[in-house]
Amino acid sequence: MQFIGGQKIHLIGIGGFGISAIARILLERGFTISGSDKNANALTEALGRDGATIYIGHATEYVHGADMVIRTSAVKDDHVEVAEANRLNIPVYKRQDILEPLMKNDYVVAIAGTHGKTTTTAMATHVLRHCEADPSYIVGGIMANTGTNAGVGKYEIFVIEADEYDNAFWGIPANLVVLTNIEYDHPDFFVNDTVMLDSFRKFLDCMRDHATLVACADSPLALKLANEQRAKGRTVYTYGIHQSADVMAKNIRIEGDKTHFDIVTDHPLHEMGKLVSSLTLSLIGEHNVQNALGALLVATTIYYTNFDRIPEAFETFKSTGRRFEIHGERDGIIVIDDYAHHPTAIKMTLEGAKMRYPNHTIWAVWQPHMYSRTSVLMEDYAHAFYAADNVVVTDIYAARENPIKEIDGAWTTEKISHSHKHYGGDLEATAQYLRNHIQAPAVVVIMSAGDAPKIGELLLT
């Protein structure tokens, strides 16, 4: 397939982060865009304001006149708009089908991993923009620095978050790949960790000739794949905190709401160690230091980067939505929204909360995401909450799944290894329990990939 100027393109599931980002790129490149989704949201509203035609709901006539249709992975072959497009011989593509033609003329930076890829992608994008190497970008969240999840830049550079679910990242022809870490996830798609790791291998096989791989040495599986690629002759650089790497962060220290650290490296690229000796982040946690190291290696690889502006770029970076996002404060109780839904992400988020607010009681409010993930990873979830003083678990957010017998919020709460835990039930009941039991000063960290941020809204009203 190919994109030709003047085409009309219809996108099914345009309210999702992945499809809405593609819609924005195409819209800014001058294509006529329409899209449908079952509900409106901030992404559809923004696209509508900027010139896209947005349909709420789905109907056969929405694809009429389109030159092609792009669908989200959640849309099946029997969807009414897909079926109508097929009847009319309008080509229908999945997201991964269109990534290569979308970026064929660009130097492509693809950032993949189980955790941290959204923050690292947003950070790399912001640093490049700040350092005069303005890229196009697709991020799996709303960047606070730009107010959107995608955009077209001045240069032929494209930074993209590479999503492993549904093997969506197989279509990315990368010149530079960052592997933030790899752990088993998405049991509803990857039947085991071997299948998942093979998917990452195939993604790396899609890299362009003479591509570079950057991997976090603190992640055993990411390091394993990096060593495999090095053995094949790829250029590989590593970064980390705890394991020996080409680029390392040392002397990490927290001062208020900022993290400071020094850069130690033998990395020859642009003599980076001489250019950047230390960095400051307006983010908390070792995981964000790791993210910054990955983004730093991206910035120092791009020829157009103004290296003198790198330290300022990192200090001015603001995280994406629902990544330790302060929702508000009321009567000495701070409410934070975070996207953490994997055991390791929960652990890192709560450790960061404890570092940032050492004199507050930390309340972890967790909405389990999907029955399969909760069941398969329960042993790891059980030990992920030690940095919290109290743990409250809601009902499971089903997402795209049907319930699994005997796997529910109460069962999940019982399995958690913590002396102060409570099953909250639905969102309203959970909010009421918190109102009745929290005493200031306290921090409520709501961890959810679903609709649990509503709890914070209820607490703050």
Does residue 73 share a domain with residue 141? Answer: no
What confidence tier does 270 reach under pLDDT thresholds 50, 70, 90?
very low
346 in a domain, yes or no? yes
43 in a domain, yes or no? yes
Does residue 146 share a domain with residue 81? Answer: no
Does residue 146 share a domain with residue 18? Answer: no
Angle at 39 between CA 38 and CA 44, to 5 degrees: 110
287 in a domain, yes or no? yes
Residue-wise pLDDT tens digits, 150-172: 999 999 999 999 999 989 999 89
Rounded-to-integer distance, Cα 211 and Cα 234, Å: 7
418 in a domain, yes or no? yes
Does residue 146 share a domain with residue 40? Answer: no
1 in a domain, yes or no? no
Does residue 228 share a domain with residue 151? Answer: yes
76 has catalytic annotation = no
For the chain, the residue count is 461
389 in a domain, yes or no? yes
- Residue identified by tokens 């609709």 is 451
Does residue 300 share a domain with residue 170? Answer: yes
The dihedral through the CA atoms of 144, 150, 156, 162 has a sign that is positive
Residue-wise pLDDT tens digits, 109-125: 999 999 999 999 999 99
pLDDT value of residue 96: 86
Q: Record the pTM.
A: 0.93
Does residue 345 share a domain with residue 290? Answer: no
Task: Write down the catalytic residue from 117, 347, 354, 421.
Answer: 117
2 in a domain, yes or no? no
What confidence tier does 242 reach under pLDDT thresholds 50, 70, 90?
very high
Instruction: Among 264, 292, 315, give the residue marking a domain's end.
Output: 315
pLDDT value of residue 267: 63
21-35, 312-326, 406-420: lowest mean pLDDT where? 312-326
Instruction: Among 259, 280, 315, give the residue marking a domain's end.
Output: 315
Does residue 268 share a domain with residue 150? Answer: yes
CATH code of the domain containing 152 = 3.40.1190.10
Rounded-to-integer distance, Cα 372 and Cα 27, Å: 37
Does residue 170 share a domain with residue 24? Answer: no
3-state secondary structure of 100: helix
Nearest CA among 207, 209, 212, 186 for reference residue 197:
186
154 has catalytic annotation = no
pLDDT > 70? residue 271: no
Domain limits for position 40: 8-95
Residue-wise pLDDT tens digits, 355-399: 999 999 999 999 999 999 999 999 999 999 999 999 999 999 998
What is the number of structural domains in the chain?
3
Does residue 136 share a domain with residue 71? Answer: no
Rounded-to-integer distance, Cα 331 and Cα 327, Å: 14
CATH code of the domain containing 70 = 3.40.50.720
Rounded-to-integer distance, Cα 108 and Cα 100, Å: 10
pLDDT > 70? residue 126: yes
What confidence tier does 400 reach under pLDDT thresholds 50, 70, 90?
confident
38 has catalytic annotation = no
What residues have CB less than 8 Å from 34, skipping those under 6 apart? 8, 9, 10, 11, 52, 53, 54, 55, 62, 66
Does residue 205 share a domain with residue 307? Answer: yes
Task: Write down the catalytic residue from 161, 286, 325, 351.
Answer: 161
Helix 17-28 to helix 95-102 angle (10° resolution) is 30
What confidence tier does 268 reach under pLDDT thresholds 50, 70, 90?
low
pLDDT > 80? residue 275: no
Share of residues in the chain with pLDDT > 90 (%)? 90
Task: Write down the catalytic residue from 44, 72, 114, 118.
Answer: 118
Does residue 348 share a domain with residue 282? Answer: no
Instruction: Among 288, 315, 342, give the residue marking a domain's end.
Output: 315
Rounded-to-integer distance, Cα 329 and Cα 312, Å: 29
Beta pairing partners, 108: 158
pLDDT value of residue 304: 81
The amino acid at residue 357 is Y
372 in a domain, yes or no? yes
Around 157, how many Cα atoms within 13 Å sit in the side-chain half-sphere? 21
CATH code of the domain containing 406 = 3.90.190.20
pLDDT > 90? residue 307: no
